[in-house]
Structure 1
Amino acid sequence: MKINSKKVTVQKSSQALCEYLSDVKNFEALMPDNISKFELIRDDAFVFALKGMPEIALEVKEVEAPHKVMLGALSDKIPFQLTANIETINANTSQVELVFEGDFNPMMAMMIKSPITKFLETLAGNLEQIQ
C-alpha cells in the first residue's frame, strides 16, 4: 500500500528542512491535535499514539541530504516506512511530499487507508507552517 500526501511548500531551504525532519523531536510539533502520546525513545526514534489508535514507534532509517528523510517502523509486526521527498525551489524555499509505504493484507489496508491519508495530510499541512 502506498499513500502520497499533497506536495507542500516550506519556507526553509532543502538542507534546513532535511535537518529539521532528521531531528525526530521536531515531529511532536507536526502531529495532529488528537495525539495522546509522544515520547522520544532514542536520539533517532520516537513513539506516538493518536486517540483510539495503537502506539507506533518510528526511527530514522535513511537520510540523503538534502533530498530525502526516511523513517521506518521499529516493529516488524507492522512493516512500513514514511519518506519525505524534498525538492529545492530556491535558496530559502523547498517543497516536500510525504510518502507512506507499507506491506499490509487487503483487510488491514482497507481499514487504515483513510486514517493514514488524513494523518499524512495533517503532517504535510503542519510542515507548511514551520518557520
Structure 2
Amino acid sequence: MNLEGRKIIVNKSAKELTNMLKNSEDYKNLMPEGLQKFESTGDGFKFGLKGMPEIALKIDDVDQQRVVLKSASSSLDFFLTGTMNPINENQTEVQLLFEGKFNPFIKMMVEKPLQNFINALTDKIEKI
C-alpha cells in the first residue's frame, strides 16, 4: 500500500529541516490535533492519537534529501518517508510518502485514517 501527501513549500532550508528531523523530540510539534500521548525514545518516538492505536516509529535514515521513519513494531511493516528538495537557500519542497506491506483486511481498515494522518502531518509541516 502506497500513500502520498501533497507537495508543500516550507520556509526553511533542507539543512534546517534535516537538523530538526534528526531529533525525535521535535516530532511532537508535528503531531496533528488529538495527540494523547508522545514519548521520545533514543532513536525514535511513540505516539497515540485519539481513535487510533499507539504507533512506535524509529528514525531510520536522515539526510538533506529525505527522512525515513520505520515502524518499530515487528508486526507492522511500513516506512514513512519525507522527501526534501531544496528550492533555494530558505525554501524546501517537502512531500510525505507512506509505504506499507499489509494484508487486504488491514489495508482496508487503515488506508483512510493513514491518509488523514499524512494530510494532517503535511499541514503541520507547512506551518513550521
User: d(CA) in 1 for partners of 2:60 and 2:69?
Assistant: 5
Q: What is the CA distance between 1:18 and its match in structure 2?
A: 1.6
Aligned-partner SS, 2:51: coil
Superposition RMSD on alpha carbons, in Å?
Answer: 0.9
How far apart, CA to CA, are the structure 2 residues paired with 1:114 and 1:24? 26
Question: Does residue 48 of structure 1 match 2:47?
Answer: yes
Give TM-score scaled by structure 2 length: 0.96
Query: How many residues were matched structurally?
Result: 128
Query: Match of 2:60?
Result: 61
Following superposition, the deviation at residue 17 of structure 1 comes to: 1.0
Structure 2 counterpart of 1:48, which letter?
Answer: F
Tell me the TM-score normalised to structure 1 length. 0.94
Q: Give 5+ residue unaligned stretches, structure 2.
A: none
**Superposition misfits of 4+ residues, deviation over 2 angstroms:** none
Shift of 1:31: 0.7
The alignment-based identity, stated in percent, is 39
Tell me the amino acid that sits aligned with residue 49 of structure 1: G
Q: What corresponds to 2:12 in structure 1?
A: 12
Structure 1 stretch displaced more, 100-109 or 18-27: 18-27
- Once residues 27 and 41 of structure 2 are traced to their aligned partners in structure 1, the CA distance between those partners, rounded to angstroms, is 13
Within the alignment, does 1:2 sit opposite 2:15 as a pair? no
What SS does the corresponding residue of 1:82 show, helix, strand or coil? strand
Q: Which letter does structure 2 place at the counterpart of 1:60?
A: I
User: Aligned partners of 2:68, 2:22: CA distance in 1, in Å?
Assistant: 9
Gaps of 5+ in 1: none
